[in-house]
């Protein structure tokens, strides 16, 4: 199948709304960080990709035609090389609004007891141990790696994101790249992808409150047990 769309934008720039929009447009499943919560068997491919800059891409993205958010964004160059026909979408957002959202969600570590409970449940169900493993990977590669652990430094993180966005613009051929704000809805996205505008509202998903609700222990247990989808 292979990826047709590569998202290069950071988390909290509208990536889940874009995920849902791409699926509405007919792209068969779009990979997102939350996918790792329900299928941590693919974590080994991400870890290999981080260490060796390559992996079994076909196995990693089996069943997917698009990918957005972290960890996909972190390897957009490697993915572009492996999928030379894929288009790249860089989701962007006002830096201050991004920081306000991120500081309430992806930059905030869940309470310690969440990890303790899930690790204990992981002794009885491998699925229940997914979240601590995925978080450890994200913490190492994104929070401590890309963001250098400076999770409360507003100006540093804003500058880092702008530096990232500039690099994407310089690295991706213009005909393969869309710089996109989800608030602009269907028209620029569909024009870039050559798709008709759907007769349905553009999806709005995963605001800060919804994100925090997802990370409540009872909801994580539901996801890990397969009782609820991410």
pLDDT values of the chain reduced to their tens digit, one per residue, 230 residues: 689 999 999 999 999 999 999 999 999 899 998 888 777 889 999 999 999 999 999 999 999 999 999 999 999 999 999 999 999 999 999 999 999 999 988 888 765 545 455 454 454 555 556 767 888 898 899 999 999 999 999 999 999 999 999 999 999 999 999 999 999 999 999 999 999 999 999 998 755 566 555 555 455 555 555 544 54
What is residue 53's predicted lDDT score, i.e. its pLDDT? 96
pLDDT at 129: 61
pLDDT at 177: 98
Buried residues in 131-159 as b, exposed as e (16+ CB within 10 A): bbbbbebbeebbbeeebeeebeeeeebee
Which of helix, strand or coil describes residue 101? helix
- Full domain range(s) for residue 210: 5-225
- For residue 182, tell me if it sits in a domain: yes
Q: What is the pLDDT of residue 205?
A: 77
Q: Give pLDDT, residue 12.
A: 94
Residue 23 falls within a domain, yes or no? Answer: yes
Contacts made by residues 58-63, CB under 8 angstroms, sequence distance 24+:
58/2, 61/1, 61/2, 61/3, 61/31, 62/1, 63/1, 63/28, 63/29
Residues 174 and 14: beta-carbon distance below 8 Å: no
What does the pLDDT read at residue 227?
46
Q: In what order do the strands lie in the sheet with 66-67?
A: 30-31, 66-67, 5-7, 87-91, 177-180
Contact 224, 128 (CB under 8 A): yes
> 30 phi and psi, to 5 degrees?
-120, 125
Do the domain assignments include residue 108?
A: yes
Counting the structural domains of the chain, the total is 1
Residue 91 is assigned to a structural domain of this protein: yes
The pLDDT, as a whole number, for residue 119 is 55
Secondary structure letter of residue 196 according to DSSP: P
pLDDT at residue 36, as a whole number: 82
Q: Is residue 230 part of a domain?
A: no
Q: Provide the greatest CA pair distance for the chain.
A: 50
Which CATH number covers residue 74? 3.40.50.300
Residue 9 lies in a domain: yes
Q: At what angle do helices 112-122 and 217-225 cross, to 10 degrees?
A: 30
Are 57 and 63 contacting, i.e. CB atoms less than 8 angstroms apart?
no
């Amino acid at each position: 199948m292979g990826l047709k769309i590569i998202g290069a934008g950071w988390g909290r720039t509208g990536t889940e709304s874009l995920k849902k929009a791409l699926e509405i447009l007919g792209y068969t499943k779009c990979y997102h960080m939350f996918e790792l919560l329900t299928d941590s068997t693919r974590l080994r491919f991400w870890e290999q990709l981080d260490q060796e800059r390559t992996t079994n891409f076909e196995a990693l993205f089996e069943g997917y035609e698009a990918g957005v958010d972290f960890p996909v964004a972190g390897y957009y160059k490697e993915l572009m090389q492996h999928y030379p026909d894929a288009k790249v979408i860089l989701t962007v957002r006002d830096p201050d609004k991004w920081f306000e959202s991120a500081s309430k969600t992806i930059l905030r570590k869940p309470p310690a007891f969440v990890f303790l409970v899930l690790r204990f449940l992981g002794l009885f169900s491998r699925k229940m141990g997914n979240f601590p493993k995925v978080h450890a990977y994200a913490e190492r590669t994104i929070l401590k790696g890309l963001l250098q652990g400076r999770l409360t430094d507003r100006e540093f993180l804003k500058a880092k994101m702008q530096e990232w966005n500039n690099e994407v613009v310089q690295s991706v051929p213009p005909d393969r790249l869309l710089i996109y704000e989800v608030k602009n809805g269907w028209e620029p996205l569909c024009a870039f992808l050559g798709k008709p505008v759907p007769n349905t509202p553009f999806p709005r998903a995963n605001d800060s409150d919804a994100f925090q609700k997802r990370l409540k222990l009872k909801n994580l247990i539901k996801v890990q047990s397969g009782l609820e989808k991410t």
